[in-house]
Amino acid sequence: MKQLLLTTFLLIISAKSLSQNEFNSEDFTVTRSDLNINTYEKDSTANALVIYEYGKSYVDKRTFKLVTEVKRKLKILNREGFDKATNVIYLYTDGNKKEKISNISATTLNIENNNVTKTELENSQIFEEKYNERYTIVKFTFPNIKEGSVISYSYTLTSPFMFKYKEWFFQDDIPKLYSQYETSIPGNYEYNIKLVGFLKLDVNHGVIEGNCLDGGNGAYADCVNTNYIMRNIPAFTEEDYMTTKYNYLSRVEYELKTVRGFNGSVNHYTKTWATVDSELKTDKELGRQLNKSSSTKNLLDDSIVNEKDPLTKAKAIYEFVQDTYTWNNEYSIFKDVSVKDLIDNKSGNVSEINILLHNLLDDNNIEVKPVLLSTRDNGFATQIYPVLSDFNYLVVQATIDGISYLLDATDSYLPFGQLPFRCLNQHGRLLDFKKGSYWIDIEAEKSSSVSYRLELDLTADNILKGKTAKKTTGYHAMSPKKNYFKDKENYIKSRKDTYPTMTFLEYDVKTENKKDRDFDEEFIIEHEPESVGEKIYLNPFLFKFFTENQFKLQERTYPIDFGFKDAYLYALKLQIDDSYEILEHPKDLVLKLPNNTGSIIFTTKVENNTVELFFKLNFTEPIYNPEYYNYIKEFMRTIVDIQKNSLIVIQKK
């Protein structure tokens, strides 16, 4: 019987291959071309490829359970793609109810000695284990995997949880030729449906199917049947300057909004912000803690309490909380929140520290409101309806003389008005329990920058010597500030170790307060440039901003997110001994990003034996859409090239 099935299967392959010399992305059938083709021209870096995948979710007419059928066909292009031969499926559990999987079928196809071989997954090769309290995983690995294998599998998932209507990921970390998801949703279930990502659907079509679900006693529901299709989907590859990939992976998600029972009952699951505001106001973990002014009595010195200037007072209160209480690195905002415990223990989570800050400011007549947000690693918070589980962080907004400042006291190095980088995730929800909550922008107050200013002399014996001033501001200043104030000697040593060909004769840090927005360093350096024969080849960029182009993808489908507006400046004044003459110097260059969203200015001026070189780089936007990627990629290539290959050529007269 198995031989007959295999013969029939091979006939199907043969028939298909007669009319096709490329991957069969039209259906689940494996063709000879699927097996023969071992490269993917659109992405030469791909290790595996989804040729075809199909999903269908609907409500079973008999059990009223949610059923999802999945079919997927993949090509293993090389050994690095072998990990795609292991499949893990998560089954949700809640008490006695749990999701179940059935009808697992998995097959590996290879060409061996010009013959097609087929290896099927045995039941004994399927494993189920507990993942955590909420999930069980079903895991299986395809047998007989080789370079060039085509693997196909299918299964059925049955779920009693209609609130967890199955999301569908069109995009993955390998490319896909075809992905289709069909859904059938009865009219008595209403969902908020969210399409995530920057890729566009090729098909997004819905129709009404009448009387699709019989509720008994004459009750019935119509269904909305929707068909989503996406073709030629590039792989999602993580790269620098991004938030979590789940902000951008193209997919469709569902959030249960309302259930209307066949008996006439109506249950609302998605709330309005007005309802959520009311609940948060009295919530013991949040609302009540925000009103516990009694616990803040006698915490502040009289000098702070009696300060007349509100901005000076607010800064003093902020620094008091920063320096007195330590963050325990927990993000909890709706669980185990106790301002009293924070005061007693001098350590607490994000909510406790910033709620204490809120209460102290409020007690001292500073207008202040809490702000819920989601950190960069946690993903974007849903804006079209309230999903409190999307939030994992709390900061406060203080408004003084009409100017608003966003504050987070978890880091003792943060200047007043600067949030931690992890918080720069575009939007936050400001909680105003009197007028109602609303969305605000979460963005850096000012541009951050790195600048070098060098005044050097080239002596007659080919030695560069002089003063360098380095200044970092904003987010660029945070890392050097922390490293320096935690261990000054080690910081200076690490600076010297970074530039082994350079001698640091003097080193001085001008910044005295670790909370300053700027970090200023000055040092006297000595350096011997490269010489060949009678000529000296001097790269004027002794200190480089970027040593390589971090943008390397063929295509990027998600934004370039720097988090803040960025600026870099390098200014060199080089006095050359009169015994030399200048033969060559770098050419001037001006380059701009589209819509004036960034610029490079590079100029060199030579007068007598003095060289003045000026380089300035600006990114005037914190976030760039994917359409800018190739421009920024080329932009960065130019920057690296300027720093690496610029030369001043000098020789003895």
302 and 389 inside one domain: yes
DSSP 369-419: EEEEE--TTT-PPPSSS--GGG--EEEEEEEETTEEEEE-TT-TTPPTT--
Tokens for 14?
């043969």
Tokens for 67?
């059923």
The last residue of one of the domains, among 201, 231, 264, is 264
- State phi, psi for 228 to the nearest 5 degrees: -115, 130
Cα gap 346→343, rounded to integer Å = 5
166 and 286 inside one domain: no
322 and 191 inside one domain: no
The last residue of one of the domains, among 415, 442, 469, is 442
257 class by beta-carbon count within 10 Å (0-12 exposed, 13-18 middle, 19+ buried): middle
Q: Among candidates 602, 581, 587, which has minimal Cα distance to 649?
A: 581
285 and 388 inside one domain: yes
Amino acid of residue 241? Y
Any bridge partners for residue 444, and if so which?
Answer: none
360-399 tens-digit pLDDT: 999 999 999 999 999 999 999 999 889 999 999 999 999 9
The last residue of one of the domains, among 229, 264, 299, is 264
293 and 350 inside one domain: yes
Tokens for 354?
């910033």
Cα gap 449→477, rounded to integer Å = 8
Q: Among candidates 419, 422, 417, which has minimal Cα distance to 404?
A: 417
Residues 6+ apart with CB under 8 A from 302: none
104 and 195 inside one domain: yes
pLDDT the model gives residue 347: 96
380 and 242 inside one domain: no
CATH code assigned at 619: 2.60.120.1130
122 and 153 inside one domain: yes
553 and 611 inside one domain: yes
229 and 352 inside one domain: no
CATH code assigned at 299: 3.10.620.30
Collapse the DSSP code of 566 into the 3-class scheme (helix H, G, I; strand E, B; otherwise coil) and give the result.
strand
pLDDT the model gives residue 108: 97
The b-or-e profile of 356-371 (16+ CB within 10 A means b, else e) is: bbbbbbbbbebebbbb
The one-character DSSP state at 253 is: E
Cα gap 523→468, rounded to integer Å = 5
497-554 tens-digit pLDDT: 999 989 999 999 999 999 999 999 999 999 999 888 889 999 999 999 999 999 999 8
CATH code assigned at 9: 2.60.40.3140
Which residue range forms the structural domain that includes residue 582?
448-652
219 and 286 inside one domain: no
CB atoms within 10 A of CB 339: 22
CA-to-CA separations, 490 to 410, 484, 493, 496, in angstroms, rounded: 25, 8, 5, 10
pLDDT the model gives residue 11: 38
404 and 462 inside one domain: no
Tokens for 644?
């690496």
CB atoms within 10 A of CB 490: 11
174-231 tens-digit pLDDT: 999 999 999 999 999 999 999 999 999 999 999 999 999 888 888 889 999 999 999 9
- Number of domains into which the chain is organized: 3
Residue with tokens 């907004």: 397
Positions in the chain short of pLDDT 50: 1-20
Cα gap 438→455, rounded to integer Å = 51
